[in-house]
Structure formats: C-alpha cells, structure tokens
Amino acid sequence: MIRITVPATTANLGPGFDTLGLALSLYDVFEVERAPQWQVDGCEPKFSGEDNLFLQSFRHTLHLLGLEPIPVHLKISAEIPVARGLGSSAALCVGGAVAALLLVRECSGREMKPGFDPDELEFLVDAASEMEGHPDNAAPGVLGGFCVAIMAETCQGAARHVIASRNPVASDWRFHALVPPFELETKKARAVLPQSISRADAVFNVGRAALVSQAICRADAAMLACACEDRIHQPYRKALIPGYDEILTACKAAGADAVWLSGAGPTLVALTVGPAKTGEFTGRIESILKAGGQWVHKSLSPDNLGVSYVCNPD
C-alpha cells in the first residue's frame, strides 16, 4: 500500500490569474493499493464511482506511461474542503498521477526510493495539469512553495506542456483561509469572466502579477500588499460570493498584510507576517466571525515540500 499526501493550494494570489499558485499546510491523504476491482472509500457516494477524479488521473497517467489501467482500492482522508478554491480537485489529480508513477516504478522492479527525480516532478506537473486544467494549482500541489506556471504550447522548443518555476515561501508567513459555508464550482466562477479585457486592465494585472512574484521571493509583505490587486477575475467573481466585501473589509480591519480570492473562490486568503501580527489578526477575525456568519477561519503555513508518499506504512 502507498500513502500519498498532497497539500492544498491557493491560486492566482490576486493578479496572477491562471499562472500563480502557492501550497498550504492543509492536506489530502490517499491510500492506494492494487485490488480485484475499483473501490473508493472516504468520500461522498457521488464521488465514489470509477469516475472519481483521482482514479481518472491515475488512469490518464498510466496511459501517458504506456500502461493499461490496473484496478485499485483508494481510501481518501480529505482535509481540503471541496469546491472552495483551495485546490481539492488538483490534489486528487496530483494524487492519481503520483499513484500511477509509483506503480510503474514497482512494475519496473526498481527499489522504491524516497522522493522524485527532477524529470519525474516535471512529468507529474504535466500529467496533473493536463487532467485538472490549471497548472497554477497542480504545480504547487506537486512541487510545494510558490510557483509560477504556464502552459507552454506557445513556447518554441518546449519539450513539455507546463513550465513551472518553484520558490520557497518564508516560514513565518501565515495564510488565513476564510472559508464560507457554501461551494462554488470553478466552471461557474469562470463562466462569469469576460472573454476579453482592456489593454489598461491587462497592463494593471501584468505588472502586479510580476510584482507578486518578486514580493514572495524576497519575502516582502509590504510589496505584496500593493501588488495583489486584480482586475481580471475578482471583480467579476465577487458577485457570486455573498459576504465577500464584508470578509475582505474585516480582514483588512484585523490587520492583514494582503487579501485575495483563493483560486476561483469562494474562499478568501489573508496574509500576516510574524507571531504578533498573526496573533492579533486571529483574535480579531475570530471574534468578527463569531458575531455573524458561518465562515470558518483556518490558519495555515506555507508548504514548501509538495507531494510526498510512504510505501507500506505501519
């Protein structure tokens, strides 16, 4: 049996629509073993069929590796809330891709060594992104840290589909996920976006997305505060999220350094740096949440390791 652990992700980070993502310390754990027939435990019945996204990714990756599908028994222990913009679909796709790759290692008689080679990591990012459609979630899910990821079909000479650059995130940065009590399907959250944007809005976002990247790599929270505004997706999506403006205002009032819509939403993520500011923010936001609404606060660290696995755990 193999146990695979995949971190949650927060994508876009404001202006970096479909290109920036960061891994967080909230995890889905998948236990996989060969079985006489497909079986899924640990999730709602509607997800426990053979079309479970993990299994789809598993079969897709086996196909990429030139192997026939092999039935497995999958047990899911999920911390990442479903359809909340924290990368739950990406975690399933990453998990399935990893399970397929580990099976190939086993088939080829190689001793199961810990971790992954750089070429295996690239393969996993590609396979999971192809399945999930969003490299800004799949790349940090595989690699951990903060990732810039693009689909490279327009990049001449690119040998693979996704080009991802990974950077570690400062360990004293705290990411506060404010999770609403309702789901928002990514498809619906993408359907409200305009097909084209003005040059002024494109320039607004391009500059800020580049600056977000610099701010995280330099651990400069003040720069991130200025950089994480957006005109491509957040202004359109907030209409789908009752309470968005109130939670955003509450986060700012509670002292957040920066706030953004996590992925396609509906979760918002706020940043604080250092124990004093984090403690103050946590006290204030929790008392605001207690006073009204059913949003949940999860205080998370960056995950700088990405996907991991253990073979035959006790």
> Does residue 205 belong to the site contacting ligand HSE (CB under 6 A)?
no
Residues 217-246 that bind ligand HSE (CB under 6 A): 233
Residues 163-192 that bind ligand HSE (CB under 6 A): 186, 190
Kindly state the smallest distance separating residue 85's Cβ from ligand HSE, in Å.
6
Question: Of 60 and 134, which CB lies nearer to ligand HSE in the complex structure?
Answer: 134
Q: Which of 24, 264, 285, 300 binds ligand HSE (CB under 6 A)?
A: 264
> Does residue 263 belong to the site contacting ligand HSE (CB under 6 A)?
yes
What is the bridge-based pairing of β-strands 2-11 and 20-34? Answer: antiparallel
Buried b (16+ CB within 10 A) or exposed e, 65-92: eeeeeeebbbbbebbbbebbbbbbbbbb
Q: Which of 59, 84, 134, 176 binds ligand HSE (CB under 6 A)?
A: 134
Question: Of 62 and 270, which CB lies nearer to ligand HSE in the complex structure?
Answer: 270
Question: Of 31 and 230, which CB lies nearer to ligand HSE in the complex structure?
Answer: 230
13-32 footprint of ligand HSE as x/- string (CB under 6 A): ----xx--------------
Residue nearest to ligand HSE (CB): 263
Which residue stretch of 109-117, 119-127, 132-140, 297-305 sits at the interface with ligand HSE (rule: CB under 6 A)?
Answer: 132-140
Residue type, 286: E
> Does residue 137 belong to the site contacting ligand HSE (CB under 6 A)?
yes
Q: Quick one: CA dihedral 164, 228, 133, 3, positive or negative?
A: positive
> Does residue 12 belong to the site contacting ligand HSE (CB under 6 A)?
yes
> Does residue 11 belong to the site contacting ligand HSE (CB under 6 A)?
yes
Question: Of 26 and 273, which CB lies nearer to ligand HSE in the complex structure?
Answer: 26
Question: How many residues lie near ligand HSE (CB under 6 A)?
Answer: 12
Kindly state the smallest distance separating residue 187's Cβ from ligand HSE, in Å.
9
Q: Which residues bind ligand HSE (CB under 6 A)?
A: 11-12, 17-18, 134, 136-137, 186, 190, 233, 263-264
